[in-house]
């Protein structure tokens, strides 16, 4: 029998992507979707693209009510803005649901850092120690036993997966790291904001949100854990005219002149050689978002530059899949005891 899952906030881009993936999941059944804006409408009405699925004519969006959802589902995904997600997590956890939160609300261990970066008090600080950071390649064992998953942000995923193994292995220095990221427009969400109109984004490339983007908080917390010391990085996001995809270029410093390409390759091979969703590029191949869009794969390539001594690492992921909903389903699979790749290949 399939496990019942619900999505609160299913009409945004991450929510829609959860719907897409869950409609074809072999072990999960989409039992409820909520949306204040579309309450009462069927899945087929709100998303014509899903209208061929048998469920789409019967499943209706409802108002998001925690107590009701707790009766309808065993696992609840929160695809909500930060600050709002926590309001639902508390009663759902109390009612015995597992919660997979795609917002930033439970990604940090410190309520103070949350307040510094998100400019309001944390709504449920008592849950911060309970939550597991949902990066399966790093925290697989903890996710399996968790009831509250804080699924990582899109930029953090694109930075952490390439960087953490190098820091853990002592191949790259923990200071001076630069992450230069390029994101598709879906990262801004489906909100009616003139900045994200077609004509404002098409034929446009622009940096934004520097030098202190909110995602720095979780990036630095995780990198610090990997390095064993406090890490502060430089992070510059840019908006580029594609629907989906993040391309991150990382500038790292090897810990010594003895660090060579083989060591880096061996480190990545050890960390990710068996990972189903990490693709280590070989030879002359470099990441390209078009090779991973729609999939849960992150591509990683690296180059040691003999002229500068730097280590350049590049990654490409779909911000809505590996950077959000696909990764959240990876966590669902782990905590449910299913094959990790279920519904994701």
**Binding to a second copy, residues 285-314 (CB under 8 A):** 285-295, 297, 299, 303, 305, 307-308, 310, 312, 314
* CA-wise closest residue to 160 among 143, 141, 142, 177: 177
Is 201 marked active-site? no
Please say whether the dihedral angle defined by the alpha carbons of residues 102, 106, 109 and 113, taken in this order, is positive or negative.
Answer: positive
Residue 203 binds to a second copy (criterion: CB under 8 A): yes
Residue 193 binds to a second copy (criterion: CB under 8 A): yes
Residue 156 binds to a second copy (criterion: CB under 8 A): no
**Binding to a second copy, residues 97-126 (CB under 8 A):** none
Residue 208 binds to a second copy (criterion: CB under 8 A): yes
Complex with a second copy: residue 125 or 294, whichever CB lies closer: 294
CA distance 80 to 199: 27
**Binding to a second copy, residues 124-153 (CB under 8 A):** none
Residue 324 binds to a second copy (criterion: CB under 8 A): no
Taking each helix axis from N to C terminus, what angle separates 13-23 and 326-336, rounded to the nearest 10 degrees? 50
**Binding to a second copy, residues 224-253 (CB under 8 A):** 232-234, 236, 238, 240-245, 247, 249, 251
List CB contacts of 249: < 8 A, sequence separation 6 or more: 179, 180, 181, 312, 313, 314
Pairing of strands 234-239, 206-207: antiparallel
Q: What's the closest the beta carbon of residue 91 comes to a second copy, in angstroms?
A: 30
Q: What is the DSSP letter of 152?
A: P
**Binding to a second copy, residues 271-290 (CB under 8 A):** 276-277, 279, 281, 285-290
Complex with a second copy: residue 45 or 263, whichever CB lies closer: 45
CA distance 305 to 325: 35
| Residues noted as catalytic | 154
């Amino acid at each position: 029998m399939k496990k019942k899952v619900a999505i609160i906030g299913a009409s945004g881009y991450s929510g829609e992507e959860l719907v897409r993936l869950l409609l074809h999941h072999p072990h999960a059944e989409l039992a409820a979707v909520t949306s204040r804006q579309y309450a009462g409408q069927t899945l087929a009405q709100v998303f014509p693209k899903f209208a061929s699925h048998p469920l789409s004519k019967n499943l209706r969006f409802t108002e998001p009510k925690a107590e009701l959802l707790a009766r309808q589902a065993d696992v609840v995904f929160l695809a909500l803005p930060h600050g709002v997600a926590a309001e639902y997590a508390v009663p759902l956890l109390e009612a015995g649901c597992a919660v997979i939160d795609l917002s930033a609300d439970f990604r940090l261990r410190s309520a103070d850092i949350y307040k510094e970066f998100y400019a309001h008090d944390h709504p449920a600080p008592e849950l911060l120690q309970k939550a597991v950071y949902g990066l399966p390649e790093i925290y697989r064992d903890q996710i399996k036993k968790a009831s509250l998953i804080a699924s990582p942000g899109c930029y953090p995923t694109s930075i952490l997966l390439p960087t953490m193994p190098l820091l853990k292995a002592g191949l790259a220095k923990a200071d001076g790291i630069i992450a230069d990221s390029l994101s598709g427009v879906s990262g801004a969400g489906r909100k009616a904001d003139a900045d994200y109109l077609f004509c404002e984004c098409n034929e446009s490339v622009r940096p934004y949100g520097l030098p202190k983007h909110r995602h720095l908080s979780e990036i630095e917390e995780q990198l610090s854990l990997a390095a064993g010391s406090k890490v502060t990085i430089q992070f510059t996001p840019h908006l580029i005219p594609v629907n989906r995809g993040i391309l991150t270029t990382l500038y790292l410093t090897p810990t010594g002149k003895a660090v060579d390409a083989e060591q880096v390759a061996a480190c990545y091979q050890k960390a990710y050689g068996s990972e189903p969703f990490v693709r280590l590029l070989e030879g002359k191949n470099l990441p390209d978002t078009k090779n991973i869009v729609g999939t849960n794969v992150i591509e990683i390539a690296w180059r040691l530059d003999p002229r500068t001594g730097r280590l350049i690492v590049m990654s490409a992921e779909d911000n809505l899949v590996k950077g959000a909903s696909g990764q959240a389903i990876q966590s669902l699979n782990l905590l449910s005891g299913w094959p990790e790749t279920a519904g994701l290949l």
